[in-house]
Chain A
Amino acid sequence: MESFNNKSLISKRTETILKKLSEKGQLKNINGVNVMILTDLKKGEVKVKDLGRLQAATSHEYTLLRGIGENGKCERVLIRGIQNQVGIPEEYIEMNYVWSAHSHPDDTSPSQLDRDALSAFDQECSVIVSACQRSDNHKYKTRTFEQIEDLSNWLPS
């Protein structure tokens, strides 16, 4: 059973996703880290904006992929990692999946590992959703990041 941070604040939608993940998700060990993988998700079942809510609810990092599944249909894959990292099985890279987004426990700044993973996907950009920062319209803050680092604000103070 999932342990939630604050059950009263979890929306019905988030609860449904978490229930499905615990019922149908497959546990996999990637380099010593256990991840839970939920495949065969249809478009709209899990959205990028859900990732912040999911991490806020369970304190795990989440990743969302999309691509063509084994049945030849377009699918979404949700992966739950540990608190500050989430592993992505390499077969999804070989099958040309797209790394739609992943969540961060705090801010939306990408790490070098995020950029390396993006490079492995041979992808230009992806999205980070914060689990704690909210934008003006109270939605979880998102940020698009690229393979290249943005140092344009690094000026002498």
Chain B
Amino acid sequence: MTGNPASPVTETPSLLNIENLTVGFRTGREVASMPLQGVNLRVPRATRMSLVGESGSGKSLTASAVIGMLPGGAEILRGSIRLDGEELIGASKQRLRDLRGPQIAIMFQNPRASLNPVLTVGGQIAEVIRTHSDAGRRESHHRAIDLLDQMGVPDARRRAGDYVHQYSGGMAQRAALAMALSCQPDLLIADEPTTGLDATLQQQVLELVVEQVSDRGASLLLITHDIAIARQTCERTAVMYAGRVMESGPTASVTSSPANPYTTALLRAFATVDEGRMYAIPGTVPTLLDPLAECPFADRCPNAAEECRDGVPELRTIADREVACVKA
């Protein structure tokens, strides 16, 4: 094992800097499981970054930790999350509330989760605008309608007065995006924003997200299980597995010449293959009840060797990316 810690390679300071983030679930006083075990992730300014992983990899939990909304029972055991240099772990609830909106915003897989069913869509977007700016009632409503219009909601003036259940799936996700972008956040976290949508619609929504985020000079952290989506939308990609980042770098090079065997396996699982066969990674995802003692992928890895069992590989900088594999 090389003791080389993750050394920063970015010239400019990152917008979001997650270091050694470790999250556990407690039952009583004991830590019953540790779904995140030392996540290291940096999102530079004005960059679209995807966080790719299977279920159980910890990608959504990482996002929850960033916005300070961990599920019940979960607790940050170690690590640091800095947004624009400001430490978020241990920040007051009030401070986190102030940050949500103007600094970080999130959109979820189910758009109806972020929109209140008993308020009109336009009304609640306007309300968020009023909370975080000195805009008046009339102006905030105009801005809400403008936003919906920019997100491609047809007839936005009229639709702003509708309730979310009157929106179709695709329209609701557009409205959720309008809501998330209403306070000009520096970082938009999108947690599987298109997973519930059909393929043709998925593409429309992803393109919209990319366009809007880029136009505003904001950063995007896109959480997805689909590496094809990462390739379509993001400049940088980090691959997560078993509560750790396995590989991180420019999307093009990560997906064309993966350095971590897990990335290779994941890419192969997504490739179209003939002859009635699809590539499958043997075995199953490990259950993270205890701290890892070896590479979490070692049991399923075709290249596994003795040294893979000597400890958890740290992220090392190799050429244009960071890789957590001793054999890379």
Q: Do A and B bind each other?
A: no
What residues of chain A have their CB less than 8 Å away from a CB belonging to chain B? Answer: none
